[in-house]
Amino acid sequence: MHIHIPGICGTFMGSLALLARELGHRVTGSDSNVYPPMSTLLEAHGIDPGHGFDAAHLDPAPDLVVIGNALSRGNVEVEAVLDRRIPYTSGPRWLFDNLLCHRRVLAVAGTHGKTTTAAMLAWILEREGHAPGFLIGGVPGNFSMSARAGEPGGFFVIEADEYDTAFFDKRSKFVHYGPEVALLNNLEFDHADIFDDLAAIERQFHHLVRTVPGNGRLLVAADEPALDRVLARGCWTPVERFGSAPQAAWQLEASAGGFTAIVAGQHYPVGWTLSGEHNRRNGLAAMAAAAAVGISPQAAARALQAFRPPRRRQELRGRVNGIEVIDDFAHHPTAIALTLEGLRAERPQARLIAVIEPRSNTMKLGAMKARLPGSVASADRVWWYQPPGLGWQVEEVARDCPVPASACADSAALIEALAEETGPGDRIVIMSNGGFDNIHERLLVALRERYPQQTEDGEA
């Protein structure tokens, strides 16, 4: 079957394209925002991500068009599909009908940490010999792809996103997945472009809860009031809690170089190199979800010791003259704060410089603007970048920051300023949910030009 996927470079749709290709379909695609790592991942698997939308991409007509949720009425390919009566569906619906209905699905939901926690869970299952299928919104460090089909009847780990499904289906994606195990990691307001308030998101999370069978399992964070309200709407599935609250079955105890999971009075230490309390919580959640399908805490702890985070999650892109350039996907105030707090705790004496591009749909609307200044308190210096289409001026946030902050609308000028003001031992963390004009590699080039006698590790 020939499947065409408009919006193919989105993390979900790109991963779906890899699955369709693995299942034997011919896959083509198109997108207006083509950038790594998804574009290079698709090309590596023989899928052309296309450049721009064009009705000619539908000549001759494909057997099926799987339409991404980033596409709306008015898009030339959407209009051509409707005008020509070409069969179409949404990504989540295609995924369930062609793959998930034949798998034991473990769904990881929450405002933050979905990608990392799903990657942890998939890796635990992998290390225990289950060879799970998975679809993760990033490229996990322990795997070479963001998605694979797995075997019929086997486990499938999916990052369960609350964003809407398609222009013709405004339900959250995760209501299509039919999980045996659902992990609810946290919940706060986000996606202001489609949700009016937190209550609207809670309603969608309860729709997910309604789909989990009575012989399945819900793993729920113990210290999240919004998730308590979700369960209060009704629950028909056994629930296990994880976190630091007294009623949690899975307790977290932080330790230097990792954490300890405490279950039924037993202690299971995990040693790793990840920074931040949020990653410890993600690890605990993954252990609890793995236990729900029979993986012992000891085995899960061993697997996590070899876990490598997904790309763009505190990913070190390079080091020049002792200056580190780190890439991170954080784009919500809570995620920004947690990331910076983790990096600060990891190396308290290092100068920490945050470079932030507020480019998500929620950020463009300004819904989180008031919370942004406080989110950077753990940094020593902040640069706010003004992307095209932002509905407000980043200077407004820079003025209110508790640490020295500047605003810039020119990526070249920003790179020049960073190269000039940084020195050995500094850590530059660049935060964006987009390509950010390839600023990471361009900054590394600028640093190499500034310090031509230095090697990548900073030694002459």
113 is in an annotated binding site: yes
Question: How far is the CA of 270 from the CAs of 241, 359, 427, 434, in angstroms?
Answer: 19, 35, 26, 32
Facing residues of 164 across strands?
Answer: 172
- Is the CB of residue 61 less than 8 Å from the CB of residue 54? no
The span from the CA of 64 to the CA of 89, in Å, is 8
273 is in an annotated binding site: no
Who contacts 327 (Cβ-Cβ below 8 Å, separation ≥6)?
311, 312, 314, 315, 317, 429, 430, 440
- Is the CB of residue 334 less than 8 Å from the CB of residue 111? yes
Q: Which two tokens stand for residue 133?
A: 């299928």
91 is in an annotated binding site: no
422 is in an annotated binding site: no
112 is in an annotated binding site: yes
**DSSP secondary structure string, 328-390?**
E---SHHHHHHHHHHHHHHSTTS-EEEEE---SHHHHHTTTGGGHHHHTTT-SEEEEE--TT-
Packed helices 277-291 and 114-127: angle between N→C axes, nearest 10 degrees: 50
The span from the CA of 417 to the CA of 383, in Å, is 10
- Residue whose token pair is 């009704």: 234
The span from the CA of 56 to the CA of 394, in Å, is 39
211 is in an annotated binding site: no
25 is in an annotated binding site: no
- Is the CB of residue 51 less than 8 Å from the CB of residue 75? no
Question: What angle is formed at CA 280 by the lines to CA 278 and CA 282, rounded to 5 degrees?
Answer: 70
At 254, the amino acid letter reads A
For residue 175, give the nearest of 204, 135, 136 by alpha carbon. Answer: 204
**Residues placed in the known binding site for ATP:** 110-116
Annotated binding residues, as ranges?
A: 110-116
